[in-house]
Amino acid sequence: MNIVHKSIAALLLMTAVSSPALAQTTVKYMTFSAAPNYIEELDATIAAFQASHPDIKVEYETQAFGEYFTKLQTLVAAGQAPDAFELNYESFVDYANKGVLADLNPLIAADAGFSTSVYNSTALAAFSQNGKQFGLVESFSNVVLFYNQDLFDKAGVAYPTAEWTWKEELDAAQKLTDAANGVWGDFAPIQFWEFYKTIAQNGGAMFNADKTEVTLDSPQNVDTLQWMVDKVNKYHVTPTDAETAGLSSEDLFRQGKLAMLRTGIWLLGDFVDNAKFNWDIQLEPGNTNKAHHFFSNGVAVSATSGNQQAAYEWIKFLTSSKEAVDIRVKAGWELPAVSDQAAVQGYLDLPKPEHREVVFQALDTAVTPPVIANWNQLTDIVGKELEAAKLGQKTPQQALADAAAAVKGIL
């Protein structure tokens, strides 16, 4: 069910004004990330915004992620798009391509007191196309290398460093694996999301720069997939599906059965609470390049909004102000993609893991998902072929050749 909220703080502020009523512009805002757990934080952010912008009132609507884009698409098609709305990166590309989003460059250029240097440059660039800034980056998450320090100490293996490559990773994984006791040196899922990032670590990509040519079966990509499946089937440093006994990789790490795990920072809190051993994080090893996942939400202004200036002021505050950043960090409501380390010092000062700064360092080598119009078909096609290679039903060369042929048919 839709939940439409009006900021209580704003109504109180309006009531308290004894002078003639202030003319206000209403900005309608639509979000998925606030529901259901961060409504209070969104209310507090709006209250802080309206305290410094009394001429702007923010009304918002929340939708669960599963229903959000269906509702948003319906509103856009009906010419009733909210003034500002939230988009994950994958959906942002689609909306930008359809001309639904306002170019923010003129608004930014006219904003003498503001600089986009407040954002991490890589994260901000993800929400631009053809030189036009169609969105401001709101929050991000990524994937890094988690490692069990106790297992490394027991095996006499030095901890991972930022300079590690796949070679050092594999060498360490072989020394750390004790299959007889159910301890494995390394784990990375063999699936679409892991593959798009891992091929970038080897200089590969699924498409050429303008996505007019499929490069799925390039030599770099075949070598990458071979390395991924060899860790399971040749070197036996990663468990097979049967050897996991139905446990997830996160379960195995919590139980002290994985020495290294490539997984998301959204598990930091879980591991702090439930992994009863010493552990830390590091940048992922690459082969020829460093590359890390980039999962992100941004906020955009509707191209048809009659309140673009006010909507811009709101999304700028939401994504970069000290008040909004403090609220987000304190609540654990994803992470703001800001460039000033001092702004997220409270997050960095948490005692575990020791090297939380790695989370932000990984942004500097972030790679975005290869979004195309037939996005769901792309992920299904590639995922199916990766599974066939993992199970030994096809060679990596054949699996990626078959994937490339199928993707060419939908491009």
The pLDDT assigned to 22 comes to: 64
Q: Tokens standing for 99?
A: 């001309």
Q: Residues 6 or more apart from 6 whose CB is under 8 A from it?
A: 57, 59
Beta bridge partners of 264: 143
For the chain, how many helices (H) and strands (E)?
18, 13
The pLDDT assigned to 189 comes to: 96
- φ, ψ of residue 290 to 5 degrees: the values are -90, 140
From residue 210, how far is each of 130, 207, 249, 372, 409 by CA, in Å? Answer: 11, 8, 35, 10, 17
Q: How far, in Å, CA of 137 to CA of 128, rounded?
A: 10
From residue 254, how far is each of 242, 274, 282 by CA, in Å? Answer: 19, 6, 17
- φ, ψ of residue 303 to 5 degrees: the values are -65, -20
pLDDT mean for each 10 residues of the chain (411 residues):
43 40 88 94 98 97 94 97 96 93 98 95 93 96 97 98 98 97 97 97 96 96 98 97 93 97 94 96 98 95 98 98 94 91 90 95 92 91 98 97 97 86
- φ, ψ of residue 12 to 5 degrees: the values are -65, -40
Q: Residues 6 or more apart from 218 whose CB is under 8 A from it?
A: 204, 205
From residue 362, how far is each of 241, 243, 285, 355, 398 by CA, in Å? Answer: 29, 31, 11, 12, 32
Strand order in the sheet with 143-148: 260-264, 143-148, 279-282
How far does Cα 36 stand from its chain's mean position? 19
What are the start-end ranges of the E strands in 117-220? 128-129, 132-133, 136-141, 143-148
Q: How far, in Å, CA of 270 to CA of 243, rounded?
A: 23
Q: What is the pTM of this model?
A: 0.85
Q: How far, in Å, CA of 45 to CA of 47, rounded?
A: 5
The pLDDT assigned to 21 comes to: 55
End-to-end CA distance of the chain: 36
Q: How far, in Å, CA of 382 to CA of 394, rounded?
A: 13
Q: Alpha helix locations (H) across 307-353?
A: 308-320, 322-331, 345-348
Whether 195 and 225 have beta carbons less than 8 Å apart is answered as yes
Containing H/E element for 85?
strand 84-88
Q: Tokens standing for 154?
A: 């027991």
User: What is the DSSP track for 143-160?
Assistant: EEEEEEHHHHHHHT-PPP
Containing H/E element for 366?
strand 366-367
- Domains within the chain, CATH numbers bracketed: 3-139+295-348 (3.40.190.10), 143-294+354-408 (3.40.190.10)
